[in-house]
Amino acid sequence: MPDAPGPSHIPAAWRSSLETLTARRDITHAHFTPGDTVVIPTGVANGRLSGDVMTIVAPSWHTPTDEDGWRLRNPKGGERTFVTAHPRYMIHLSRHCPDCLIHRRTLEDYVLPKVPFGSGSFDCGWYSLTHLNQLVHVHDARGGR
């Protein structure tokens, strides 16, 4: 999970590929439940979307968007074992979910053509963490938070 990478931490040629689709995603809080395994796409690795796999633990208010979010557990642990995220950031891994599959495919179609083949693995800088360990998409903060 990034501490606070911004678009300046990715190569200049790929900054234009900053992903704006997630912030516009229309998904409800009820779409997810505690125990679900999800991924939050954060970048590209070997020509595919990559991200952080986490488990949903409990409902939690997402301050950056002033909406219901979810508390997530990162199985890798460390300093950021638990974070709060908005439902639109998450894609189901633990079950076959048409809404999540469509969103993942849309992200792939939007992002992957903009990344040169063989560019390796990198975090695209789509997310940062607040001082309260709340994940926020670069195009999703409300009120400058």
- Number of folded domains in the chain? 1
For residue range 114-133, list pLDDT tens digits in order: 777 777 788 888 888 999 99
φ/ψ of 69, rounded to 5, equals -125, -165
Q: How many residues does the chain have?
A: 145
Which of 20, 23, 6, 13 lies closest to 123 in space, CA to CA? 6
Strand partners, 137: 127
In a domain, 144, yes or no: no
In a domain, 61, yes or no: yes
For residue range 22-81, list pLDDT tens digits in order: 988 999 999 999 999 999 999 888 888 999 999 999 999 999 999 999 999 998 877 788
In a domain, 145, yes or no: no
In a domain, 1, yes or no: no
Between 72 and 16, where is the model more confident? 72
In a domain, 2, yes or no: no
In a domain, 111, yes or no: yes
pLDDT tier at 20, thresholds 50, 70, 90: confident
- Name the residue range of residue 58's domain: 7-137
HSE toward the beta carbon, residue 136, CA cutoff 13 A = 24
